[in-house]
Amino acid sequence: MKKHIVLLPGDGIGKEVMESAKAVLNTIAEEFNHSFSFESHDIGGAAIDRHGNPLPPETTAACKKADAVLLGAVGGPKWDANPSHLRPERGLLGIRKELGLFANLRPIKGFEKLLHSSPLKEEVVKGSDLLIVRELTGGLYFGTPSERRDNGQVVVDTLFYTRSEIERIVDKAFQCAQQRRGHLTSVDKANVLESSKLWREVVEKKKQQYPDVTVEHVLVDAAAMKLITNPSQFDVIVTENMFGDILSDEASVLTGSLGMLPSASLREDGFGLYEPVHGSAPDIAGKGVANPVAMILSAAMMLRHSFQLTVEADVIEDTVESILNAGFHTADLKNAGKKVGTEEMTSLIIGSIKTRSAANCIMSC
Ligand code: NAD
Ligand code: IPM
Ligand code: MN
């Protein structure tokens, strides 16, 4: 299979973990006889520094022509004082909007042998396996332009959704639930927000089309509590943009680290940009200690969702799990075993993929 992939490493550890994902993809290409070509472009702070724009038009144009896009992370203290239109995060929001990536799938599954890495009790984390379906191109992030009035003493951010924006993400979440354990939790703040009332109305109407899926509504504050007291009650969670952002970072503690969570940001026709849930981690950037697992698993999601390369995606996911099970871990995971850096972790994963395919060949070639 021949595919062209645009890489947007971005800033901080985004650049470091992107190297890992690219190396793993090159290994998959060699072992499974695929041809992956790569083209890197600037986004975020790197793009501000080089082009004076967090999302240069050539970056958007390249993404639109690609078969899929991989994104590292954007942001950092260097640009924190910039005016809003010159913030790295604008680049990320811009590319999501430009590409129409309305559905952000964030799977969260604690690996069996890493349960003790979570600060939560093992018996709480055990059995948790959930998917957050986060609406990604609406809500507070994309309301009418935010503004400051009265000498900056009054601020306005607006939360805006159309019925059809809610319908398409709710449909996506129902479909995901059908492919999983058939339970959907819709998270909102319908006791206060008008947007949440419409959200709940849409879910109630849509559920008639998906009789095989059970549905419950949970208010976001309670959902935050339930996620860390009884996470195994969740299968698929569907929620609006900002609630999904916050709840997914919270849910990462189930896996032991934010550095473990991958995601897929999908358009209606299935086109995808794949990005770890974490940010540019300025506190550890440049030290070679970042956990590359979230980025590598995002590349696996790309193989599965965009290229239908199920076996190859399984190989990456199984290999990552086996390396972690063997006790190798980056510093963010509180684990016994051997602490390794980004490069060593990547090499271990690559070495194991190669050994695995050599063993398969001996058995089947
Ligand atoms: P962050 O996700 O960058 O880091 C939060 C904490 O988690 C830090 O202690 C960090 O060291 C740790 N961490 C995150 N990823 C890790 C990994 N792969 N390996 C090991 N440790 C990891 O969030 P933040 O510090 O709040 O934000 C830093 C910058 O990143 C900000 O500019 C923010 O806007 C940006 N950000 C970008 C994205 C993105 O590009 N998708 C996501 C979140 C935050
Ligand atoms: C994420 C990030 C982004 C978001 C920021 C950097 C704009 O936190 O991808 O989760 O809020 O969507
Ligand atoms: Mn976030």
Catalytic residue among 67, 129, 171, 249: 249
Residue 106: φ, ψ to 5°: -120, 90
CB-count burial class (<10 Å; 0-12, 13-18, 19+) for 240? buried
Residue 251 is labelled as binding a ligand? no
With a 6 Å cutoff on the Cβ, whether 278 touches ligand 1 is: yes
Tell me if 90 sits within 8 A of 55, measured CB to CB: yes
Angle formed at CA 359 by CA 361 and CA 34, multiple of 5 degrees: 55
| Residue range 42-59: mean pLDDT, rounded | 98
Cα–Cα distance between 303 and 286 in angstroms, integer? 28
Q: Give the residue, by CA position, lying nearest to ligand 2 atom 12.
A: 245
Residue 206 falls in the annotated catalytic set: no
Catalytic residue among 189, 210, 235, 332: 189
With a 6 Å cutoff on the Cβ, whether 284 touches ligand 1 is: yes
Q: Report which residue type is found at 161.
A: Y
DSSP string computed for 296-351: HHHHHHHHHHTT--HHHHHHHHHHHHHHHHTTEE-TTS--SSEE--HHHHHHHHHH
| Residue range 1-6: mean pLDDT, rounded | 97
Residue-wise pLDDT for 296-318, tens only, equals 999 999 999 999 999 999 999 99
With a 6 Å cutoff on the Cβ, whether 92 touches ligand 1 is: yes
Residue 249 falls in the annotated catalytic set: yes
Q: Judge whether residue 365 has pLDDT over 60.
A: no
Q: Judge whether residue 81 has pLDDT over 90.
A: yes
Predicted TM-score (pTM) of the model is 0.97
Fold agreement (1-104+273-365, 119-254): yes
- pLDDT, residue 39, reads 98
Domain 1-104+273-365 fold: Isopropylmalate Dehydrogenase (3.40.718)
Is ipTM beyond 0.90?
yes
Q: Give the residue, by CA position, lying nearest to ligand 2 atom 5.
A: 89
- pLDDT, residue 361, reads 67
Q: How far is the CA of 57 from the centre of ligand 2 (A)?
A: 21
Q: Give the residue, by CA position, lying nearest to ligand 1 atom 1.
A: 279
CATH no. for 119-254: 3.40.718.10
Provide the CA 85 distance to its chain's centre, in angstroms: 24
Partnered with residue 3 across adjacent β-strands are: 36
**Could you say which ligand is closest to the alpha carbon of residue 134?**
2
Residue 235 falls in the annotated catalytic set: no
Tell me if 295 sits within 8 A of 17, measured CB to CB: yes
Q: Judge whether residue 112 has pLDDT over 90.
A: no
With a 6 Å cutoff on the Cβ, whether 104 touches ligand 1 is: no
Residue 3 falls in the annotated catalytic set: no
Q: Which atom of ligand 1 is nearest to the CA of 292?
A: 18
Cα–Cα distance between 162 and 198 in angstroms, integer? 9
Residue-wise pLDDT for 262-280, tens only, equals 999 999 999 999 999 999 9
Q: How far is the CA of 246 from the centre of ligand 3 (A)?
A: 6
Give me the chain's average pLDDT, please: 96
Residue 97 is labelled as binding a ligand? no
What are the strands, taking DSSP E only, across 189-271? 214-219, 236-239, 264-266
Q: Which atom of ligand 2 is nearest to the CA of 242?
A: 11
Residue-wise pLDDT for 223-256, tens only, equals 999 999 999 999 999 999 999 999 999 999 999 9
Which residue shows structure tokens 């799938």? Answer: 105
CB-count burial class (<10 Å; 0-12, 13-18, 19+) for 51? middle
With a 6 Å cutoff on the Cβ, whether 92 touches ligand 2 is: yes
Q: Is 337 left (phi over 0), alpha (psi -120 to 50) or beta?
A: left
Catalytic residue among 64, 221, 334, 338: 221
Q: Report which residue type is found at 180.
A: R
The pairing of beta strand 147-149 with beta strand 264-266: unpaired
Q: How far is the CA of 1 from the centre of ligand 3 (A)?
A: 33
Q: Give the residue, by CA position, lying nearest to ligand 2 atom 8.
A: 245
Domain ranges for the chain: 1-104+273-365, 119-254
**Could you say which ligand is closest to the alpha carbon of residue 74?**
1
CB-count burial class (<10 Å; 0-12, 13-18, 19+) for 339? middle
Give the 3-state secondary structure of residue 131.
strand
What share of the chain in percent tops pLDDT 70?
99
88-98 and 57-65 helices cross at what angle (nearest 10)?
40
Residue 287 is labelled as binding a ligand? yes
Q: In what order do the strands lie in the sheet with 272-274?
A: 35-40, 2-10, 68-73, 272-274, 264-266, 103-109, 129-135, 236-239, 183-188, 214-219
